[in-house]
A and B are shown apart, each in its own frame.
Chain A
Amino acid sequence: MASEKIDVRYVAKLARIALSEEEAVRFGKQLGDLLEHVNVLSELDTASVPATAQVVESRNVERGDDVTPCLDRETVLAMAPQRQGAFFRVPKIIAES
């Protein structure tokens, strides 16, 4: 298992969470400690063990492609932090060239 120090700023970037200086130091240490604990898993011989995503029987579930009632647009948009007409409003995504 990997044992190198966790690059908490990089991980936070992937997770889209801004960290303060203090948080980066604290979380970095705590995550390092936790990884040490979870490294005990390397003691388990899993070479011939299949991975389990879910323990209880499951099979793919399909349904007919039928139109059924769903939440109406106003109910959904009423929860939006910002809206414009029938749309969610977000900050600019595409930069001007």
Chain B
Amino acid sequence: MNELVTRSAAQIARDVNGKRVSAREITAAVLQRVDETDDRLGCYLSRLNELALDCAQRADRRIAAGETLPLAGVPIAIKDNMCLRGTRTTAGSKILENWIAPYTATAVQLILDAGGIPIGKANLDEFAMGSSCENSALGVTRNPYDLSRVPGGSSGGPAAAVASFQAAIGLGSDTGGSIREPGAFCNVVGFKPTYGRVSRYGLIAFASSLDQIGPLTRTVEDAALAYDVMAGHDPSDSTSINRAVEPAANALREDLKGLRIGVVKEFATAKLGPEIDALYKRAYRELADLGADVVDISLPTADYGLATYYLIAPAECSSNLARFDGVRYGLRVEGDDVGQMYERTRAAGFGPEVKRRILIGTYALSSGYYDAYYVKAQKARTMFAQDFRRAFEHCDLIAAPAASSPAFEFNAKSDPYSMYMMDYYTIPMSLAGLPALSVPCGYAGTPQLPMGLQLAAPLFEEAKLLGAAHAYERATEYASKAALAV
């Protein structure tokens, strides 16, 4: 493997800005790495070789002209639910299989303006609904540590691409765990900022009150770098937050002295088996060894997260996905009248999981059930926010598992609810809008496969969160202790 592809985003940016290597050389090496490995991994749904080389040339020219670019020459994998003008943007769905985006998502534009190089559009569960990438209608992505296993989801493509050196930064989206869980499965850092921190303009909507864009990276430093480029208010997204962003790159720490880290009583890991229980207990001990005061906290509503989420997210999805009707863009299947055209188009265009969620959401919003289901879930959501607010009176950060197991084999979760359970530990933070990330914390199972530690912070405390994760990563360096299968 060419050493150039193994460099972190921060290293690449430093070297390209310092003219020690060109963006063109980095890009050529990464495109070759994708050529050599992606037939086995399937990270990308669309390759962007020509655009990548154009962007590399432009970055080199800007640097030659005296500019400094935060992401100079950094190869980027973009989850294929984010628009990039002139490129196919599918959301992993047959209904958008041939759709060419006519505009660019704000987060993607910020990355490109900063000198990032778009390598390709990466695979995902259809419309970001899933936890294994198996719900993609357009391709199979494999876990780079074990090709017989899933990469996690829904941001499985970007996670696998970053893990396998096909990119240095993956742009993912997280609604209930879709950055953090694939991050854990693929041994990379997966970071979901506070809801509203990064513009959702140009992100194909799943559940608008929960969706948030964030980076997948091989180091916490790179996550901070990407976050600092993307975070901020965007007039094109009225839910994006209009308040100053504290740069996270300046907040990276080497210890955890003076921080209180809460371990959630209701997330007792004993039920996950002795090996995983021991792994998370070790992780909490490692936080204490770094100087943190590790304390017990309680989230009384924790066990109601899945139920709350699987009403709110499908309800919003049923509304958001109403726009796919065969009229203005995407697939159309003809019918005798317009109603039949809608029904046939949506029957042919959506896969089973998307249909299930639209049906659940439609039911939860339908006359007679709205108060019993949807309003009830919105009230439960208030309780989550209150629970976390109370918990953070006793701690600065929360530590928890990122997932209940390492990556599983394909077709292992045939019952929808068993797949939903994969998000048990990540959903509560999503419901409360909190910034949260997953950082590699060791290996479990046979064969030994990566696991992730989840850290969460109060709203807007991304810098503190990334700072602490950096200290943990530097002290443990778990990600480097396993070999890729490719």
Contacts and interface: CB of A to CB of B under 8 A. Distances in A.
B356 interface: yes
Contacts of A51: 375, 378-379, 381-382
A56 B335 contact: no
Which secondary structure dominates chain B's binding surface? helix
A52 B350 CA distance: 30
A81 B329 contact: yes
Given A11-B363, A41-B376, A44-B304, A53 B209 contact: yes
Chain A contact residues: helix, strand, loop or mixed? loop
Contacts of A25: none
B102 A79 contact: yes
B7 interface: no
Contacts of A44: 301, 304, 376, 379-380, 383
Q: Which of B301, B360, B368 has the most CB of A within 10 A?
A: B360
A71 B285 CA distance: 55
A54 to B, nearest CB: 5
B148 interface: no
A67 interface: no
Contacts of A78: 100
B396 interface: no
Contacts of A34: 310, 360, 416-417
A38 B311 contact: yes
A15 B382 CA distance: 28
Contacts of A31: 356, 359-360, 363
Contact of B355 (A27, A54, A58): A27
Contacts of B334: 91
Interface string A27-40: 10011011101111
Nearest to B367: A14
Given A52-B381, A71-B103, A40 B304 contact: yes
Contact of B359 (A15, A18, A50, A80): A15
Interface in B420-465: 431-433, 459
B460 to A, nearest CB: 9
B426 to A, nearest CB: 15
A14 B102 contact: no
B366 interface: yes
A26 to B, nearest CB: 8
A57 B326 CA distance: 36
B64 interface: no
Given A18-B344, A71-B103, A91-B341, A63 B235 contact: yes
B132 interface: no
Interface in A5-22: 6, 8, 11-12, 14-19
A46 interface: yes
B346 interface: yes
B99 interface: yes
A14 B332 CA distance: 19
Chain B interface: which size bin? 35 or more
A14 B322 CA distance: 11
A12 to B, nearest CB: 6
B325 interface: yes
Contacts of B344: 18
A63 B344 CA distance: 39
A2 B421 CA distance: 23
Nearest to A62: B238
A82 B330 CA distance: 10
B385 interface: yes
A80 B459 contact: no
Contacts of A82: 332
B336 interface: yes
A54 B209 contact: yes
Nearest to B379: A46
A31 B360 CA distance: 7
B110 to A, nearest CB: 19
Given A6-B363, A15-B362, A41 B308 contact: yes
Given A18-B347, A31-B356, A71-B103, A56 B328 contact: no
Contacts of B362: 11, 14-15
Given A16-B346, A38-B307, A91-B341, A56 B363 contact: no
B239 A16 contact: no
A49 interface: yes
B358 interface: yes
B408 interface: no
B156 to A, nearest CB: 23
Closest 8 CB pairs of A and B: A81-B332, A51-B378, A55-B433, A46-B379, A18-B347, A18-B343, A61-B238, A79-B329
5 contacts: A30-B356, A51-B375, A58-B239, A81-B327, A91-B338
Interface of A: 1-2, 6, 8, 11-12, 14-19, 23, 27, 30-31, 33-35, 37-44, 46, 49-58, 61, 63, 71, 75-76, 78-82, 88, 90-93, 95
Given A51-B378, A56-B195, 5 more contacts: A11-B366, A18-B340, A78-B100, A79-B100, A91-B340
